[in-house]
Structure 1
Amino acid sequence: MVGTTTTGASDVLVSFRGVQKSYDGETLIVKDLNLDIRKGEFLTLLGPSGSGKTTSLMMLAGFETPTSGEILLAGRSINNVPPHKRDIGMVFQNYALFPHMTVAENLAFPLTVRGLAKPDIGERVKRALSMVQLDAFGGRYPAQLSGGQQQRVALARALVFEPQLVLMDEPLGALDKQLREHMQMEIKHLHERLGVTVVYVTHDQGEALTMSDRVAVFHQGEIQQIDAPRNLYEHPKNSFVANFIGENNRLSGQLLSREGERCVIGLPRGEKVEALAVNVGQPGDPVTLSIRPERVRLNGGSDACTNRFSGRVAEFIYLGDHVRIRLEVCGQSDFFVKQPIAELDPALAVGDVVPLGWQLEHVRALDALPAN
């Protein structure tokens, strides 16, 4: 499936049109990419290693050339424009700061190569330092800074010449969890304040959901779905997206019948599930059901559910604010239910057989997953 959007031409900053990339002339790393990136949006390219997301970013930056197709920036083709003439800021995972230059000199560098006057450079460097809360650090060298501070300098350097577009390639990958989460919010708030267009690459789905206006999910060189984070999570269009974004229970079965948006799926042991028909074929065809763990109700909570079964409790996984309960359900040994600690029945124990269920609108019938 190719990502397309219905955006007015005046709102679009970047357009990929039929872009393909192959390194060996045979295998396509990026297959027929059609994508419009809107002015001022925060768009994340998300996917596993080798899915084509970084290659797409590098073609936009000018470090890779499309094998075919065209990339437009502000309405003009940039296929043959060198990277330094594209007016694009870049932030990498390894910071790429000059170790022999002070923080202020690092920030001044992109302005100097663009020929700005010295007083203007001083003013802009000061503003950029203030923007990332490093006002007092201009005279330090990168080696004298923590990882988080270095990443802030790299961010300021990408923004200091006021580009219309900033590209970020796994910029927080080297930071520890707490600092990474803090920087996610800093980058998000900076984006909101400055209104610059950001294209961000990550394989971390939590990061993508937290930061983005829209997320493009890549797999095998193609966009599987491009959507707002909530829509991707709640309304995945296929099995790959359902499994890649967030946690997901999968049940395999076959389509028995379909009526409009609803369908009935038969499971291998004879159970039947009523589901939303999102991406299904004809009766008899294989189907994968997708149910989010937090949508499953246990015990009395399942009384009003359309789909009701029983499950045997196999394991509790304690995660502080919530607990994941692994159950054996419908012949599956790894069916998970997620419950806030406050809602957990303290009497529930491993080995208990409990009623459980989920509503029709919370189970999606999708394409069958290929066998591993």
Structure 2
Amino acid sequence: MDTPLIEFEAVAKTKAGLAGIGFALARGETLALLGPAGAGKTMLLRLLAGQERPDRGRLLLAGRDLAPLSPPRRGIAVFEPGLPARSTVQEAVSQPLASYDVPGRDRPARVARALTLLGLDGFEGRPLAALAPLPRLRVALARALAPEQPVLLLDDPLAGLDPPARRALGFELRRLVRRLGLTVLLATRDGEEAMALADRVAVLEEGGIAQLDTPRRLYEEPATAFVASLAGENNRLPGTVEWREEEECGVRLACGPLVEARVADAGGPGSRCIVTIRPEKVAVAALPAEEMGEGALPAALRDLIFLGDHVRLLLELGEGGMLVAKRPVGSRVPVPGGPASVAWDPYAAFAFRALR
């Protein structure tokens, strides 16, 4: 990685349950903080912005300790979805510029550039109260960009939008921050959003970082069952380890079958575990298991849903074990009541210690 622009050095904040957080962002990088509500994502943004102070540790920008600097002197812009009441778009976007010591003569140009970037040309005189949710969100983003700071903090910036609009604006935002060369720290609870917007993702778990990696490695090689549950859809099959070698193990699923999986953080024989497998990694055949081949398991199709570019199959394994598979449209799939079997590459499945 390039020389870090932002560094968190063993940062702790007791009231948020954060202990010894350490990571760095390169100039122009987008890093997502991913975790459920209460994981400490927003607190980390507030610490970097100067709205809170760490109990221990340091935060640095280009090697400079940020502790002595007030928020406007840090070179950091903060996205805030709340907008001033009874304001026009022009007024709302211009308002923060005074705190960044932007001269009055330069403010109209800053506002105009920000509005253009967000597709809001012609909205300058409109009252905020008259805007729909999507244009209001665009105004809030323009307000964060207008100070033209090198670092941008985004706390769940796409909240409140329906899925199609959220996805479209997310991709637009990704292109925009790259075009401007911004360094972005993003907080989100949405794994798909984190992977779509960020160069790397840090998953927060129990006050620390469970895994910090590229979206692809996070998805394909999750470090814990918790990480696997956040980074995309995953089948989770409880069981008990029967045998274990260096990288592989055999797991007797609670629903009956014995399967092989790659060892993640599962324990030795006799320990409870969770086997995870991505739906797209599950092969499905309209054949009895003995005809599908070695490692195949008998299954029963319980539901099939058409979703445009793929079909989603819900299959039952053994006694009550439910498994989701995704297959391309046009694939030959089982029919209810007909023969069915499933299989997967053991290296694509992971055995994790069971979460308490």
TM-score scaled by length of structure 1: 0.87
Q: Tell me which amino acid in the other structure corresponds to 2:184.
A: V
The 8 Å contact of residues 16 and 34 in structure 1, kept in 2 or not, is answered as yes
Match of 2:300 among 282, 291, 312: 312
Instruction: Rate the CA distance shift 1:46–1:269 in 2: closer, same or farther, 3 A.
Output: closer
- Residue aligned with 2:22, SS: strand
1:356 deviates by: 1.3
1:151-190 maps to which residues of 2 (within 5 A)? Answer: 151-190=137-176
Instruction: Please say if residues 305 and 359 of structure 1, whose CA atoms lie closer than 8 Å, have aligned partners that are also in contact.
Output: no
Deviations 1:270-321 (A, max 9, x none): 6432222222333333332111111111116986765311111122234333
CA contact (8 A) 1:305 1:358 kept: no
| CA gap 1:343/1:123 in 2 versus in 1, 3 angstroms | same
1:123 is the counterpart of 2:115: no
**Which residue type is aligned with residue 101 of structure 2?**
G
Q: Deviations over 1:12-31 (max 9, x none)?
A: 122112212123xxxx5212
* 1:45, distance to aligned residue in structure 2 (A): 0.8
Distance in 1 (alpha carbons) for counterparts of 2:135 and 2:307: 30
The 5 Å alignment of 1:313-332 reads 313-332=301-320
In the TM superposition, residue 198 of structure 1 has moved relative to its aligned partner by 0.9
1:76 to 48, 64, 75: 64
Q: CA RMSD in A?
A: 2.3
What are the Cα deviations for residues 203-247 of structure 1, in whole angstroms up to 9, with x where unaligned?
112211211111111123221111111111111111111122222
1:293 corresponds to which residue?
Answer: 279
2:200 maps to amino acid: R
1:20 aligns with 2:16: no
- Tell me the CA shift for residue 195 of structure 1: 1.0
Matching residue within 143, 148, 151 for 2:134: 148
Structure 2 contact 292–341 (Cα < 8 Å) conserved = no
Q: Paired residues, what number? A: 354
Aligned to 1:102: 88
For residue 262 of structure 2, what is the aligned residue in structure 1?
A: 276
Q: What whole-Å deviation, never above 9, does each CA across 1:73-131 have from its counterpart, x for those lacking one?
A: 22122234332222211113xx2222333222322223333333343222222222211
Query: Among residues 18, 26, 30, which one is paired with 1:42 in the alignment?
Result: 30
Q: How far apart, CA to CA, are the structure 2 residues paired with 1:180 and 1:215?
A: 19
CA distance in 2, matches of 1:252, 1:114: 54
Summarize deviations over 1:55-74 as a string: whole Å, max 9, x none. Answer: 21222122222222222222
Distance 1:344 1:218, change over 3 A: farther
Q: Which residue of structure 2 lines up, in the alignment, with residue 340 of structure 1?
A: 328
User: What amino acid is aligned across from residue 197 of structure 2 in structure 1?
Assistant: M
Question: Which whole-Å CA distance do the structure 2 matches of 1:313 and 1:238 have between them?
Answer: 29
Q: Contact 1:66/1:79 (CA < 8 Å) preserved in 2?
A: no
- Of 205, 219, 223, the residue aligned with 1:233 is 219
Match of 2:193 in 1: 207
CA contact (8 A) 1:306 1:359 kept: no
Contact 2:190-2:230 at 8 Å conserved across structures: no
Unaligned 5+ residue runs, structure 1?
Answer: 1-6
Residues 1:66 and 2:54 are matched in the alignment? yes
Distance (whole Å) between structure 2 residues aligned to residue 309 and residue 62 of structure 1? 55
| Structure 2 Cα separation of the partners of residues 204 and 269 of structure 1 | 30
C-alpha displacement of 1:350: 2.7
Write out per-residue CA displacement over residues 340-372 of structure 1, whole angstroms, 9 at most, x where no aligned residue.
Answer: 332253xx33333412111122111222222xx
Contact 1:52 1:220 in 2 (8 A): no
Supply the distance in 2 between the matched residues of 1:226 and 1:329 (Cα, whole angstroms).
34
What amino acid does structure 2 have at the position aligned with 1:162? E
CA distance in 1, matches of 2:293, 2:224: 24
Letter in 1 for 2:130: Q
Greater mean deviation of Cα atoms: 206-215 or 279-288: 279-288
How many angstroms apart in 2 are the aligned matches of 1:361 and 1:45?
28
SS in 1 for 2:226: helix
Once structures 1 and 2 are overlaid, which stretch shifts more, 100-109 or 360-369? 100-109
The answer on 1:351 being equivalent to 2:337 is: yes
Normalised to the residue count of structure 2, the TM-score between the two structures is: 0.91
Gap runs ≥5 in structure 2 = none
Counterpart contact for 1:52–1:219, Cα < 8 Å: no
User: What is residue 242 of structure 1 aligned with on the other side?
Assistant: 228
Q: Secondary structure at the match of 2:340?
A: strand
Helix, strand or coil at the partner of 2:321:
strand
